[in-house]
Structure formats: C-alpha cells, structure tokens
Structure 1
Amino acid sequence: MDRKLNKADKTLLLVLILFLAALVLHLQYKGSILAEALLFASEAALVGGAADWFAVTALFRKPLGFPYHTAILPRRRDAFIQASVTLVQKEFFSKRKIFRHLEKLHILPMLMGWLREPDTENRLVMQLVNYLRDFLINQEAGKHSAVLAAKAREALNTIEPEDFFALWGNWLQQTGKDKAFVRRLAQYWHKQASTEETRKALQQMLEAYEEEKTVDNPWAKLASFALQAVDLVNYGEAAELIQKQLLTILDELALDDSPVQKSLLELFYEKSAELNNEPEFHQLVHELKDSLLRDMPLEPALEQIFDNLRQHFLQDRAMDVDPLAEHMPALRSYLEDMVRMEYQKTLQLMEEDEALRKSVSSFLFDVIARSALHAQNLVGVIVKNVLSGLTDEQLNRLVYDKVEPDLLWIRMNGSIVGAGIGLVLFLLLQISV
C-alpha cells in the first residue's frame, strides 16, 4: 500500500539478494552441500515471501495487473460496507452491551450532582424564566382578557362601596397620600390664581356683584357711583387684595401639617364619614357600582393592553433585549425567585423521597436505553454514508492502516516459514538419498 519500502519489502529484497548470492555460490561450488542448502532455503523463502506479497496485495489492488480474484476489497466494497454496518449495530450497539454499560453508570446521582452545581442551577433557572416569559408573550390576548375581566368583575362585585371608601380613606391617611394630593392641588391652583387673568376675573365678579345689587335701587347705584368717583371703592385694588390673600392661603395649604391643611383634611374626613352614613349615598354608590361593572369595557381594554405589551415585548426581543428585565425588573426578579425556589424544592424532594427517586431513575434508564437502541439505525446510516463516500483508494487506505503491522508480519512470515520449510525439505531429501 505504501510506495516507500517497509520492513516486509526490505525482508523480501534481502531474501532475493540471499537467493542470488546462494545461486552464485552453488554455481561456483558445485557439489557443496552447504551451498545447496543455502540455495534451497533462500529459494523457498523467496517463493513464500513473493506468494504472501501477492496474496496481501490482491486484497486491495491487482498485483502486477493480474485480473483474476484480485482487488477483493474494491470489488466487494458493498458487502464490506454492509458487514461494517452490521458489526457496528449488532456488536458495538447491541442491546446486551448497552444495558450492561448503563447498569454500571449511576445515572441519577450523576444527574443530581450536575443539577446541584451553582452554574447549572443559574443557567437552568434563567432558561426556565425565559421559557415562562415567552409562554406569557405568546398567549392569546382575547381569551385571557375575557377570563381576567370576568375575575375582575367578580372581585369588584364582592367589594362594598362603603368599605372601599373607608379603606381608601385609611390608606390615604397612613401613606400620607392625602397630604401629597392637597399639596399638589394647592400648587396647581396657586399657579392658576397667580395669573393676570385670575385678577381680572375677580374684578369682573366684584363689578357684576355690585351691578346685581344696585340694578333695582337707583339710590344705591348713585351711592356706588359716587364712591367710585372719589376712589373710595376700587374694584381693581380689591381684586388684587383678594388674589394675594388667596395665594397666601394656597401657599399655607401646600405646606405639610400646616393649620390650614390640617383643617381642610379634618373637614374632608368628617364630611366623608357623614356622607358615607347617608342612605341616599349608599343607594347612589351601589347603583353607580352596578352600572360601572355592567358597562365598563374591561375585555377590549385588557385585550388592547395585552396586544400592545406583546408587540412591544416582541420588538425588544428582536433587538436582543429582555423585555421583562428592561421594563418590568420587579416581575423578572419575582419570577426568578419563584422558579429558583421551586427548583431547589424539586431537588430536595428527589433526595428525600426514595420512591420518587426510584421512579425517576427507572424513567431515565428507560429513556437512555431506548434512545441508544434507536441510535442503532442512525449509527448504521452514518457508517454506511461515510464508507460509501470513500473512493476505492481511500477505503483501501482506511482498512490497510488499521491492520498494516499484521499484514507486514504475514509477508515476513511467508519468507521465514518458507526458508524453514525449504531447509527441512532439503534435509529430508539428503537423508532419503
């Protein structure tokens, strides 16, 4: 197979040289038993080595162009490939060997040790959270919107308006939201009241009030005209004073725990409690609640919200951005904590429950064994495709490389055994003469 001389080629060449030397000695020393023995042994060694060279070479190609029953491997390549496939499937991947090797493996302890590793836990938890996120994103908005809307109406229907207002008032007081609301409201009205338009509106109100009081009383109208003429009554200055006083009240109202703010909040809670005890108010709020629950478009609103969220999340994911981590970090953190806790509980349950551990171990063994058995056909297809894709020369080289030392020794043994047999035959002939 190799164009370079190997040790078998060198042995055969050495035998040829010995044969030629023995032939020369035989011709020069006719009648010499030693020269004849050497010629007889070297001739037999040369024949044996040449015959084994021919036999080994005939396995892979046509030696010296001899066409009959040579190049056996290329001519029988289909049978060789099929035999190789059968060997791999039936011997290397036999059911008996697969089960024997699997029984030696402690599959469940290996799996549990791998699952307990921090890197594995973090990677699997993150993957599970991503699966959960994608599952939520791909849900149908219409069906789930109807379910959530029905749940929301059911929950709202159980809430009594009076209890809700009481809880709402307590929440406002405990969180300080009532003060914040009053402060913001005072700041807003302060901005509105400080404008020139507000001063003019106050002046117009005073003038309109004066006109209303004097429209049917000529003497009062005359007195008002006289007072304005001598500048004792100036509605512009009065409006400015009212505006300043109003701004001062709003400034004090915007200060937390100021007397004005406390008085306003106390009055608000007092009147709210009185209003909450009125039967007419009860009837009104119940009718309002029933009307809102009946007419409130929860389904389309929720469906639109889910559709918008889904589209936005899909756009983020297309840009390799985690939508939950980007927009809902608290929800993402909650999901991670929840999945991690359940993950650890599952591992702990696996370690403590013997029956569960046996069931899981049996399941894993069955799955792996079945997968390995099904792999027989796949391995056979792979081996067949690989070997079929080789040229004759590549196939020869593949086989020859695996058994080259043995083939070389076969050729060398041909010369060695031939020399021994030749020497034995020579001795037998000498004895028989």
Structure 2
Amino acid sequence: MSNGFNKADKTLLIVFILFLGTMYLHLCYPHSLAVDGLLFASEAALVGGIADWFAVTALFRKPLGFPYHTAILPRRRDAFIKASTFLVQQEFFSRRKIFNHLERLHIMPMVMNWLKKPAASAQLTSKMVDYVRDFLLHQNTEQQARVLAEKVRESLARVEPEDFFAMWGGWLRKTGKDKEFVMRVASYWQQQAQGDEARKQIQQMLEAYEEEKIGENPLARLMAGFAQAIDLINYEEAAALIQQQLLVMLQELGTRDSQLQQDILHLFYEKAEVLNQDAQFHQLTHELKDSLLRDLPVESAILQMLAHLQQHFLEDKAREVDPLAEHMPALRSRLEELIGEEYERTLRLLERDENLRAILGSFLYDVIARTALHAQALIGVIVRDVLLRLTDEQLNHLVYDKVEPDLLWIRMNGSIVGAGIGLIMFVLLHIAGV
C-alpha cells in the first residue's frame, strides 16, 4: 500500500477543513439557511469519506487498531492463495482456452517460416554437429574400434587389386599428383648428380665397366692401354659429359608438361597396365591383400586413434573449446555442409508433401497441447509457492498496487456521494419543516 499522501487523503483532508470552516460559519451565522445546508453536506461528506477510508483500509490492515473483521486479506491469505491458484489454473490456463488458442495458431506455417530463416538454419546445423560430436565422444571406443575395423576389412576385401591400381592411376592423372611425383624425383636426383663427387662416381663406374669388359684378355688390355696413352679414351671427360647430359635430362624431366616428362609418364602407365594384366602379378597382389587383411593390426590402430581423439576432445570441451573447430576444422565444415544439405532437402520435401506437413503439424499440435496441459499443474504450484513466500505486507502491496486507482476513487466517491446525499436530505428535511 502506498505510504505517500495520495489524492484520496487530500480529498478527505479538504472535506475535513471544509467541515471545520462551515462549523465556524454556523457559529457565526446560526440562522443562515445556506450555512446550515453547507454544514449538513460537509458533515455527510466527511462521514462518507471516513467510512470508505475505514472500509478500504480494513481490507489490508487494522484501521486505528480496530480488531473486528479487519485485515481481511492477511487473515484470509490461505483462501486467497487457493483462489488465485485455482483462477490461474482453471481460468487463465484452462483446457478449453489452451485448445482454443492453439486452434487459432497456424503452427506449420509458423514453423516453416522460422526454419527458412538463415539464422535458424545455421543455428540448427551447428546444434546437430555438436550433437553428433558429443554422441561420438560418449561411445565405447573398443566397440567402435571393432565395428570400424570390421568395416575396413569388408571394404578392403571387396576391392580387387587390379581395380585398385587402375583407380589409383586414374586419381594420379586426374589430380596431377603423378607429375608432382616425377618432378620431386627429378629434383632429388638433380641434386644428387651435381658436384665433383657425382662426377667421380660416374668415372668410377666407367672404369669398372672397362675392367669388366676387358677381363683377362691380353689383347684387350693392350688396346685399352694404347687408347689411354694417345688420349683416345679419357674417362674424366666422359664422366663430365655424362654428368652434364644427365643434369639436362633431369632438368627437362622436372619441368611440368615437358616432352620427356610426358613420355616417361606415358611409358609408366603403359607398363603398369601390362603388369596389371599379368597373371603372376594378379596372384601376387591377391596373396598380399589376403596377408594384409589377416595380419594388419587394424583394431589396435583404430582403438589407439579413437582413444587419443576422445582424450583430446574431452580436454578441449573442459576448456570450453570446440574440439572439431580446434583440431579438425575441415571435418566440422564437411559435417556442417552435409547436415546443411539434408536440412535443405527436408525443407523442400515438407514444402512439396502436403500430407507430410499435415502429419507433422498434428504431431506438433499434440506435443504443444500436452505440454501446456502438463504445465497447468506446474503453473499452479509455482503461483502457490510464490504467494506463500510473501509476507502479509508484501501480499498487501501486491494486491493494492494492482487496484490502487480504483480504491482511491472508492474513497473519494464516499466523500462525493456523502456530500450529495447530505445535501438532498437537508433539502427534504427543510421542505418537510423538520
């Protein structure tokens, strides 16, 4: 209740002052009819104002300490709380009103409009990625490792080695990795073929080749010694020339799309295709595949990988860091892309299929209605608990603040109506000659 001097109090004070003034005038002019009428009216207004002040105040506290049938709200707080709870449950949240309100709602159009918003799509996609991540984090790593290892072996068992090599060759050509590999090999050997050490090795190879061809033949040794004596054969110069030609060839081989590089790759794919059709190679690759499937520790490798991955992810979650965004942003982007595609496909399906929209709308209507009905009891409990925790003074303020203007006007109307009735009674008594 307001502790200030409100307009009803001011009105009552004015009426009291008016009553004192008319009383003084009555003493000064005891035979004045107008003064008598004004005194009669002011007296009635004062009585009416005081009576209504007493009545309004008695609703919330004991006016002037009067104990009988006053402070009605604090004394009847249990009944008030029960009635308020019943009002909220049965009137504001009644089954009829809930279902009538839901029937006026167009649930599916509202849902569809919200789902089409880019912000909603991004939010739901991110939530789904987080859900998938958390779901995987809390799975049994040993069971996952066994399942994944079995899937890997099944996939490898279905792959024919010839098809694998053909697919691998096609991937190399499509991506240009074959050219990069040749360029890397050419660059490596170009570095190895440079310098005096490489030239000396070439010279030693030539000399060794000479020793191998000459052997123990005396005539050949004589002719070789004669050729060296007249400088017809100079292994040092020959090694330098071979080194120079080798560097030129390697440089051309390391140049992208050079003729030599294309010839080498063409020869490689041609021989690889021939080898891939060879029966012995076919048998060898199948035996190698079977041996790998039997001996490779796929389970332990996958288990170790999943254990480390789970540990790092849990540590990142403890630091409130998204582990996918932190360590595998490409995987998260791919997951978001896949989930986003499925999200858009689902929206298009809902837009086209009217029957599906009707089924989903009925389901949402049923879920919302049941949730609202279950919330009916919960709301009553909340209202009751909140009101029970209020003190008498707080409960008075809660009610009074909501109806204060009306209560103030009731008090002022008491003075106004009292003055009017007093004036009418004075006139009637004067006419009657009393």
TM-score, with structure 1 as normaliser: 0.78
Distance 2:277 2:384 in 1: 90
Aligned ranges 1:317-328 → 2 under 5 Å: 318=319, 320=321, 323=324, 327-328=328-329
Q: CA deviation at 1:93?
A: 1.8
Aligned ranges 1:8-47 → 2 under 5 Å: 8-24=8-24, 27=27, 39-47=39-47
Change (3 A) 1:430 1:282: closer
Aligned partner of residue 60 in structure 2, secondary structure: coil
Counterpart for residue 84 of structure 2: 84
- Aligned AA for 2:196? E
Counterpart for residue 243 of structure 1: 243
Aligned ranges 1:1-400 → 2 under 5 Å: 2=2, 4-24=4-24, 27=27, 39-135=39-135, 140-169=140-169, 172=172, 177-208=177-208, 235-255=235-255, 261=261, 264-265=264-265, 267-269=267-269, 271-307=271-307, 318=319, 320=321, 323=324, 327-329=328-330, 334-400=334-400
Change (3 A) 1:7 1:210: closer
Contact 2:23 2:39 in 1 (8 A): yes
Change (3 A) 1:50 1:267: closer
Distance 2:173 2:332 in 1: 32
- Aligned AA for 1:8? A
- Aligned AA for 1:191? Q
Contact 1:316 1:323 in 2 (8 A): no
Q: CA deviation at 1:393?
A: 3.8
Q: Deviations over 1:358-379 (max 9, x none)?
A: 3222222222222223333443
Distance 1:10 1:327 in 2: 75
- Aligned AA for 1:88? V
Distance 2:312 2:37 in 1: 99
Aligned length: 432
Distance 1:419 1:36 in 2: 13
Q: What is the root-mean-square deviation of aligned Cα atoms in Å?
A: 4.2
- Aligned AA for 2:349? L
Q: CA deviation at 1:109?
A: 1.9
- Aligned AA for 1:285? T
- Aligned AA for 1:375? A
Q: CA deviation at 1:97?
A: 1.9
Aligned partner of residue 363 in structure 2, secondary structure: helix
Q: CA deviation at 1:102?
A: 2.0
Q: CA deviation at 1:57?
A: 2.0
Change (3 A) 1:420 1:256: closer
Change (3 A) 1:316 1:221: farther
Change (3 A) 1:55 1:300: same
Distance 2:368 2:59 in 1: 41
Contact 2:56 2:411 in 1 (8 A): yes
Change (3 A) 1:11 1:332: closer
Q: CA deviation at 1:4?
A: 4.8
In percent, how many aligned pairs have the same letter?
62
Aligned partner of residue 59 in structure 1, secondary structure: helix
Q: CA deviation at 1:40?
A: 4.8
What 5-or-longer segments of structure 1 have no aligned partner?
Answer: none
Q: CA deviation at 1:227?
A: 7.2
Contact 1:44 1:421 in 2 (8 A): yes
Q: Deviations over 1:249-274 (max 9, x none)?
A: 43444456666556655554554455
Q: CA deviation at 1:98?
A: 1.9
Contact 2:8 2:409 in 1 (8 A): yes
Q: CA deviation at 1:316?
A: 6.9
Which stretch shows the higher mean deviation, 128-137 or 113-122? Answer: 128-137
Q: CA deviation at 1:326?
A: 7.6
Please tell me whether residue 402 in structure 1 is matched to residue 417 in structure 2. Answer: no
Aligned partner of residue 200 in structure 1, secondary structure: helix
Contact 2:312 2:323 in 1 (8 A): no
Q: Deviations over 1:272-291 (max 9, x none)?
A: 45544443333222212211
- Aligned AA for 1:345? R
Distance 2:218 2:305 in 1: 66
Distance 1:392 1:170 in 2: 86
Q: CA deviation at 1:394?
A: 3.8
Distance 2:387 2:248 in 1: 98
Which stretch shows the higher mean deviation, 303-312 or 92-101? Answer: 303-312
Distance 1:177 1:402 in 2: 79
- Aligned AA for 2:104? K
Q: CA deviation at 1:356?
A: 2.5
- Aligned AA for 1:359? I
TM-score, with structure 2 as normaliser: 0.78
Change (3 A) 1:371 1:262: closer
Q: CA deviation at 1:336?
A: 4.1
Contact 1:325 1:332 in 2 (8 A): no
Q: Deviations over 1:113-137 (max 9, x none)?
A: 2223344334434443444455456
Change (3 A) 1:275 1:137: same
- Aligned AA for 1:52? D
Aligned partner of residue 189 in structure 2, secondary structure: helix
Q: CA deviation at 1:177?
A: 4.7
